[in-house]
Amino acid sequence: MVDLSWEEFERVELRVGTIVRAEDFPEARNPAFKVWVDFGELGIKKSSAQICTHYTKDELIGKQILGVLNFPPKQIGPFRSEFLVTGVPDADGGIVLVEPNLPAPNGARLR
């Protein structure tokens, strides 16, 4: 593990957003969904997320998640991912989304 300064941590744009759209991503190498997330004043951004183990497209709609918004866009096959969906692996290797336990304004920054 590498220690970060507070200033380094502050550079990471971790923000809350609400999933407004989810689609299958059959071209992905690993099972994934394409998701579109409303980050309030920062707009709607899209990403690829390997979260198919624990979530269906329908149950993702309306779910608030935490995303990293200031990584450069990444091309994943034919899809351009604009932010990083945050999640943690469970004991079986599936990904569990990081999400607020109470509603928060879209675009709110992690503090």
Domain ranges of the chain: 14-97
Judging by beta carbons within 10 Å of its beta carbon (0-12, 13-18, 19+), is residue 70 exposed, middle or buried? exposed
Residue 86 identity: T
57-89: pLDDT as tens digits: 999 999 999 999 999 999 999 999 999 999 999
Residues 6+ apart with CB under 8 A from 58: 22
DSSP state letter for 28: S
Q: Choose the CATH number for 14-97 among 2.40.50.100, 1.10.3720.10, 2.160.20.10, 2.40.50.140.
A: 2.40.50.140
Residue 5 · residue 20 · CB < 8 Å: no
Confidence of residue 97 (pLDDT cuts 50, 70, 90): very high
> d(Cα 25, Cα 13) in Å, to the nearest integer?
26
Confidence of residue 32 (pLDDT cuts 50, 70, 90): very high
Segment 18-40 shows an average pLDDT of: 96
Residue with tokens 């941590």: 9
Residue with tokens 């709607």: 44
